[in-house]
Structure 1
């Protein structure tokens, strides 16, 4: 994982409640969908326990909600998965 990927994934921990709630609605995600997906990001225990199954569409939606370019966020997550499984 390169430095940009680490910064991108680390920044996901810095999102606060009210902003996240508003952005959830903008992205068309329910609170439950986003909360469940957030626990499934690469590097988390739940992600490993569930076999690393999270669709590209879900990753892009999470990236959008967190304020990142959806494609960049999805690619960073996919690179992290490959790094951890190699």
Structure 2
């Protein structure tokens, strides 16, 4: 038997599918610095707007509380989205 009559038109032939690569998780440093920069930008935006008069201490306290809540929610979402072992 010769190889000249063989073709790749076999409907039962399957090609191997590569396994999906695991998605890398977000690093804590990236999230921390992103939140810190967002808080700083929001603080600068609020102080520049003329129709707002906010005490800087209250603004800093509110920003810290908002950042803390955001980090806790992101952590919970990360745990829920993580595949079970």
Normalized against structure 2, the TM-score is what?
0.29
In terms of fraction of residues, the more helix-rich structure is: 1
Over alpha carbons, which structure has the higher Rg? 2
Normalized against structure 1, the TM-score is what?
0.29
